[in-house]
Amino acid sequence: MTTTPLTSNAAATGPWWRRLHDALMPDYNCKAATYWWVMVLLGAAVLLHALSKVLALPSGVVLQIGAIGGVAMLAGLFPVRIARSKNSFAAGEIFLFLLLLLHGPAAAALAAAGEAFIGSWRTSRRWTSRLASPAMGCIAIFAAGSLLEAAIAASRSLGVYSPGLLLLLAMLCAVFDFMCNTALITAVPYLKRNQRPTVRELFGSFGWVGITFVGGASVAGLLFLAFQQSGSGVLIVAAPIIGMMLATLHYFFRQQEADEVVRTSALEAAEREAELVARHVLELEASEAKLQHIAFHDSLTGLPNRPRFQEHLTEMFDHARSDATRQFGLMFLDFDRFKLINDSLGHAIGDDFLVAVAQRISNQLRPHDVVARLGGDEFAVLAEGLDGEHFAVVLAERLLEVLRQPFHVGGHTIVTSASIGITFSGVQYATPAEMLRDADTAMYKAKGAGKARYALFDDTLHAEVAHQMRVEGELRRALAEGKLSVAYQPLFELATGRVTGFEALARWNHAELGMISPATFIPVAEDAGLMLPLTDFVLRTACGQLREWQSRDARFCDLSMHVNVSGADIAQPNLVARVNAAIVESGLRAKHLTLELTENILMARLESALPTLTELRRLGVGLSVDDFGTGYSSLRHLATLPVNSLKIDRAFVADMQRGSNEAAVLRSIVQLGEALGKSIIAEGIETPEQLKLLQDMGCKAGQGFHMSRPLSFELVDKLLDGLIACGPDALATIVSEHAALVH
Ligand code: C2E
Ligand code: CA
Ligand code: CA
């Protein structure tokens, strides 16, 4: 059933009583409002009836009723609040029951209305409550009192009346009064919500308040009995006793309340403490997790770092060993031009590039695959379940493809490629470290085979690695034991055939393998970090040797020496000091020494090498760009570099024929070089035709097998002796006589 709320738009314009309703009881529905009116009117009727009855009594009695009622109302002003509950009780109950026993329900009803009015005035600001409470209190006690009166009369007529029975009846009356009052008051909110309260809900809160009613009634009963025996003096004596009792109760509850406050605040403090500790533990755990993350992840890309990767690898390695079905592939990735990106675009772009790379690789993997950054531009991938080369190869091809796509980083478009080395857990490995080493080796094979590709580690690679490692060990020993030597290839003035100097070339005559080409052992030395001692050896030997030859005859005092330096040398900041030391030690003049750097090394490290090169030039040392034409630098670009000669790569000379494109290119290089103030040296002149062509182009200097192969120092000695004896014209004969011995 639904009820229409009294508040509606139509009501705002309705009759006066409707408007009054809306103002006084906007939350009352029809039922609740009706109930309220019934109660208030009934209460008013009871009140009027009680008033007429009391006023009919003798004035002395009326005065007594007024006095006791006044005390009841006064007590209503000072309720005793019960600790740990929302309830309170007023001492007024005692005086209400006393009035009831002394003067009947009419007197009690009047006092109850007054006491309830004062109580509700204090606790509520709504007139609905201020009127309903006294009405209900008045009705309840009137009903209860009428029942008590009837019961006492009945007991008297039955002859069972006794003071004890009076007390019992008074207490039962108090229970009835309480239940009646509670039921009447509690009904209002239920009616408002249109609900029906259960008996439990109605009287569930009996507890303290009910007991105070009963207690009040029993005290009133005792007072009444004492009054009957000793007259009204009792009441005067009782008032302060009751006051003291209530004050004691009041302070008892106050104390209890204070204790409760202390207890709850201690409890709250303990809870706060526990909460704080819990939060602290959580924070500790979080920072521990953060530390763990930092320790095992690369801060730039967020990928696992080398130590974490090694843990993953060891874990998977152990699984694969104990369970043949859990094989996995290990890939090593290295970018082909990362150094160039870093050097030319700056480290910030390099970093962004690596982050983008990490993202691209991750996107290609399955959730349980592992990708880690091992350092620099080196990444590694672990992919479980790659039961066969096929899957690994497919994944590698996919990775190569996505990494080949241009990267857009910081406004730059970077096109690069990666080389990938792959190995499998299926290959019988003793330790995870061996797997890592072989994946690395396979990656270098991929790089060696032309980059931007993948390579699988297999038996031939294994043999190659073993050989490489052997060569490396032996080269180290040969270098330490002074078993390397230097050969000298003469450089000529092409127009006259005059020897202008030599290029120093390292030689390794192996006891078992014979002569090993520098093309083989120089890369090994570079990988093994042996380039520095090797360069130093060649530099000192060649400088000392040249100084000796220069001092042999006045005509040789301007002979020069060309020495090759590698990328590793250029990267060392002390190159200038080392070169200076070699010059000073040998007593050579700086201008007689030229350092040759390949065009590729120069371009790759230009930014970092420039200060070193400038300082070398300041020292007076010549600088030459070796293998010119194989790199990507333009002549115009080279013009700004502190180099004074260019050595045209022998591939150009070899392809050159009269009238060919190469010849035209060569001719323009020679002309441009001259114009820029760089001397041009032709390399690899093998035939008289090539020599003639270069002479015709105006190329001033050159070297090659046609004039002379690289010579041992003894042969150079003889060559110079011959020159002294026969003059420059004998050069060709002498060289050809000895050439066969050298090669
Ligand atoms: P490079 O600097 O270009 O040296 C010239 C190479 O060309 C030498 O090879 C030389 O023997 C060879 N050559 C000279 N004339 C002719 C010719 O007419 N025809 C042909 N086909 N070849 C000719 P070599 O001595 O085998 O050296 C190879 C490379 O090893 C050198 O190339 C250089 O890059 C490197 N190298 C040699 N010694 C050293 C060294 O002491 N330090 C460094 N860093 N690199 C060295
Ligand atoms: Ca050279
Ligand atoms: Ca060269």
Mutation choice for ligand 1 from 564, 570, 627, 686, CB with most ligand atoms inside 8 A:
564
Residue 546: closest CA among 593, 596, 578, 499: 593
Contacts of residues 529-535 at CB distance under 8 Å and 24 or more positions apart, as own/partner, are: 529/568, 530/475, 530/476, 530/479, 531/566, 531/568, 531/569, 532/568, 532/569, 532/572, 533/479, 534/479, 534/484, 534/506, 535/563, 535/564, 535/565, 535/566, 535/569, 535/578
pLDDT of amino acid 743: 36
598 CA → ligand 3 middle, Å: 7
Q: Which atom of ligand 1 is nearest to the CA of 686?
A: 18
Take atom 13 of ligand 1 and give the residue whose Cα is closest. Answer: 684
Cα of 592 from ligand 2 centre, angstroms: 16
The residue whose CA is least distant from atom 23 of ligand 1 is 684
627/91: higher pLDDT = 627
| Model pLDDT, residue 1 | 39
State pTM to two decimals.
0.52
For the segment 431-467, what is each residue's pLDDT rounded down to a tens digit? 999 899 899 989 988 988 888 899 998 878 888 778 8
Residue ranges around ligand 1 (CB below 6 Å): 489, 505-506, 517-519, 522, 535, 538, 564-566, 596, 626-627, 650, 684-686, 703-705, 710
| pLDDT of amino acid 739 | 46
- What integer pLDDT is reported at residue 4 of this predicted model? 39
Of the listed ranges 83-87, 282-286, 297-301, 303-307, the least confidently predicted one is 83-87
Which H/E stretch holds residue 409? strand 407-409
Q: How many residues does the chain have?
A: 743
Other Cβ atoms within 10 Å of 520 Cβ, number: 14
Atom of ligand 1 nearest to the CA of 518: 30
| Ligand 3 midpoint to CA 615 (Å) | 23
- 563 CA distance to ligand 2 centroid (A)? 7
Q: Which of 378, 392, 353, 361 is nearest to 443 (CA)?
A: 378
The pLDDT value given to residue 538: 98
Residue nearest atom 27 in ligand 1 by C-alpha distance: 518
Q: Are 106 and 146 in contact (CB under 8 A)?
A: no
CA of 553 to the centre of ligand 1 (A): 28
What is the pLDDT at residue 263?
81
* H-helix or E-strand spanning residue 374: strand 370-375
CA-nearest residue, atom 32 of ligand 1: 519
Q: Are 670 and 680 in contact (CB under 8 A)?
A: yes
Q: How far, in Å, from the CA of 560 to the mean position of ligand 1?
A: 17
List, in order, residues 6 or more apart from 288 with CB less than 8 Å away: none
pLDDT on residue 265: 85
Whether residue 331 is predicted with pLDDT greater than 90 in this model: the reply is: yes
Percentage, residues of the chain above pLDDT 70: 91
* Tokens 């008013």 found at: 44
The rounded Å distance from CA 1 to ligand 2 centre is: 108
Task: Tell me how crowded residue 158 is: count the other CB atoms within 10 A of its CB.
Answer: 8
Q: What is the pLDDT of residue 38?
A: 93
Closest approach atom of ligand 1 to CA 538: 41
514 CA distance to ligand 2 centroid (A)? 23
Residue 82: the pLDDT is 59
Measured CA to CA, the distance from residue 615 to residue 620 in angstroms comes to: 9
DSSP 6: S
Could you tell me what percent of the chain has a pLDDT over 90? Answer: 41
Rg (CA), the chain: 57
Mean pLDDT of 273-300: 81
> Which pair of structure tokens corresponds to residue 365?
């993997």
Which residues contact residue 681 at a Cβ distance below 8 angstroms, ignoring those fewer than 6 apart? 491, 624, 645, 646, 647, 648, 701, 702, 703
Average pLDDT, the chain: 85
pLDDT classification of 730: cutoffs 50, 70, 90: very low
Query: Does residue 151 have a pLDDT over 90?
Result: yes
Residue pair 616/588 in contact (Cβ under 8 Å)? The answer is no
Q: How big is the CA angle at 569 (ends 563 and 571), to the nearest 5 degrees?
A: 145
**What DSSP string runs through 254-281?**
HHHHHHHHHHHHHHHHHHHHHHHHHHHH
734 within 8 A of 718, measured Cβ to Cβ:
yes
Ligand 3 center to 567 CA (angstroms): 15
Strand order across the beta sheet in which 378-384 lies:
370-375, 378-384, 328-335, 418-424, 454-456
Label residue 669 by pLDDT band (50, 70, 90). Answer: confident
pLDDT confidence of residue 207: 62
Query: Which ligand 1 atom sits nearest the alpha carbon of residue 517?
Result: 26
Ligand 1 atom closest to the CA of 565, numbered from 1: 44
Over range 267-275, report the average pLDDT.
84
pLDDT tens-digit profile of 360-407? Answer: 999 999 888 999 999 889 999 999 875 666 778 889 999 999 999 999
* pLDDT of the residue at 633: 67
Which residue's CA is minimally distant from atom 3 of ligand 1? 627
Give the number of the ligand closest to the Cα of residue 599.
Answer: 3
Q: Which of 505, 535, 566, 715 to mutate to test the pocket of ligand 1 (most atoms within 8 A of CB)?
A: 505
Residue nearest to atom 11 of ligand 1 (CA): 710
For ligand 1, atom 21, the nearest C-alpha belongs to 684
Distance CA 134, CA 609 (A): 104
At 88, is the pLDDT very low, low, confident or very high (cuts 50, 70, 90)?
low
Alpha-carbon dihedral angle through residues 366, 369, 374, 379, given to the nearest 10 degrees: -40
* Minimum CA distance residue for ligand 1 atom 20: 684
Ligand positioned closest to the Cα atom of 649: 3
pLDDT at 6 over 70: no
Atom 33 of ligand 1, nearest CA residue:
564
Pick the residue whose CA is nearest to atom 4 on ligand 1: 505
DSSP character string of 685-733: --SHHHHHHHHHHT--EE-BTTTB--B-HHHHHHHHHHHHHH-GGGHHH
104 vs 102: CA distance, rounded Å: 6
- pLDDT confidence of residue 386: 58
pLDDT at 108 (0 to 100): 92
Q: Give 568-617 pLDDT, tens digit per residue.
A: 898 888 999 999 999 999 999 999 999 999 888 887 777 778 899 999 99
Q: Is the pLDDT of residue 558 over 50?
A: yes
Q: Which atom of ligand 1 is nearest to the CA of 706?
A: 18
Cβ distance 141 to 183 under 8 Å? no
Residue 378 C-alpha to ligand 3 middle, in angstroms? 31
CB contact set of 731 (below 8 Å; sequence gap of 6+): 497, 498, 499, 707, 719, 723
Could you report the per-residue pLDDT of 171-193, keeping only the tens digit for each? 899 888 888 888 888 888 888 88
Ligand 3 centroid vs 485 CA: distance in angstroms? Answer: 19
What integer pLDDT is reported at residue 608 of this predicted model?
79
Termini Cα distance of the chain: 119
Q: Which helix (H) or strand (E) holds 424?
A: strand 418-424
Confidence check: pLDDT of 109 > 80: yes
Q: How far is the CA of 564 from the centre of ligand 3 (A)?
A: 9
Q: Do 702 and 494 meet the contact criterion of CB atoms below 8 Å apart?
A: yes
CA of 655 to the centre of ligand 3 (A): 15
- The bound ligand whose nearest atom lies closest to the alpha carbon of 739 is 1
Query: Which residue has its alpha carbon closest to ligand 1 atom 37?
Result: 505
Question: For 334-348, what is each residue's pLDDT tens digit?
Answer: 988 888 788 778 889
